[in-house]
Amino acid sequence: MIKYRRILLKLSGESLMGDQGFGIQATMLQHYAEQVKELVELGVEVAIVIGGGNIFRGLQAKDSGIERVQGDYMGMLATVINGMALQSALENNGIFTRLISALTINQVAEPYIRRRAIRHLEKGRVVIFSAGTGSPYFTTDSAAALRANEIGAEVILKGTRVDGIYTADPEKDPTATRFETLTFDQVLSLGLNVMDTTAFTLCQENDIPIIVFDINDPDNLKRIVEGEQVGTLVA
């Protein structure tokens, strides 16, 4: 029994680093490709938004004398590199994919056209959205919220290193406890960091639930789309 038929999976760029601290680790690409393949075989329509923090993060740019806007565009290009790598991994596993870029780079990615992206999903292709929103000052979380709304995704699945939303950072505070469910208002009143404010508000206003879960457990994605309680649901 499938609970979610069309999902948007948000992956951080850092999740591709594995344990090497920078760049793209082949074992992580394969790890994600195998999980996505399981969903496709269940008949789930999968869109992915990927970050670029493993290569370059726009907010770091000012420390190296690069202006914010230039740094943000560099970060967008980093997400295109990650998207190309993920596309290759998926196709090596027999999954048809389309890489879509919010910046015009016709040699490697399709331009973003909403109706075409939806048609790809309907045909069973995995759609990878890269280059964020195509505008500076917006994070890839905002891109995920925007694209999820545009394509009519039923849920945003935010894959992280921890298994949900906690009262405090569980990697630093051993007394932190995990929430199973939260409302949008509770997240705001408790000051919890789920997504940046722009992304979070976009989800709240359009009633798109967010599930924060541990992406490193290879069974979690499948369990979520089948309706199991995994991670933390914000709705």
* 41-68 confidence digits (pLDDT tens): 999 999 999 999 999 876 677 778 899 9
How many helical (H) and strand (E) elements, i.e. helices and strands, does the chain have?
7, 11
Residue 148 lies in a domain: yes
Between these two residues, 161 and 136, which has the higher pLDDT value? 136
Give me the CATH number covering residue 21.
Answer: 3.40.1160.10
Q: How confident is the model at residue 21 (pLDDT cuts 50, 70, 90)?
A: confident
Residue 52 domain-assigned (yes or no): yes
Query: Is residue 193 included in any domain, yes or no?
Result: yes
In a domain? residue 213: yes
Kind plus residue range of the DSSP H or E element containing 67: none
Quick: pLDDT tens for 165-175.
999 888 888 89
pLDDT band at 79 (very low <50, low <70, confident <90, very high): very high
Are the beta carbons of 67 and 136 closer than 8 angstroms? Answer: no
Any domain includes 1: no
**What is the C-alpha separation between 167 and 96, in angstroms, rounded?**
40
**What is residue 229's DSSP assignment?**
-
For the chain, how many structural domains are there in total? 1
pLDDT of residue 64: 81
Residues 6+ apart with CB under 8 A from 82: 13, 16, 24, 50, 51, 52, 54, 55, 130
Pairing of strands 232-234, 155-160: unpaired
What does pLDDT average to over the chain?
A: 95
Q: What is the pLDDT of residue 161?
A: 86
Residue 67 lies in a domain: yes
pTM value surpassing 0.85: yes
pLDDT at res. 63? 76
pLDDT at residue 106 is higher than 90: yes
What's residue 171's pLDDT?
82
Q: Is residue 13 part of a domain?
A: yes
The predicted pLDDT at position 198 comes to 94
Domain of 47 in residue numbering reads as 6-234
Angle at 10 between CA 24 and CA 224, to 5 degrees: 115
Residue 163 near residue 231 (C-beta atoms within 8 A): yes
Residue 28 lies in a domain: yes
State mean pLDDT over 192-211: 95
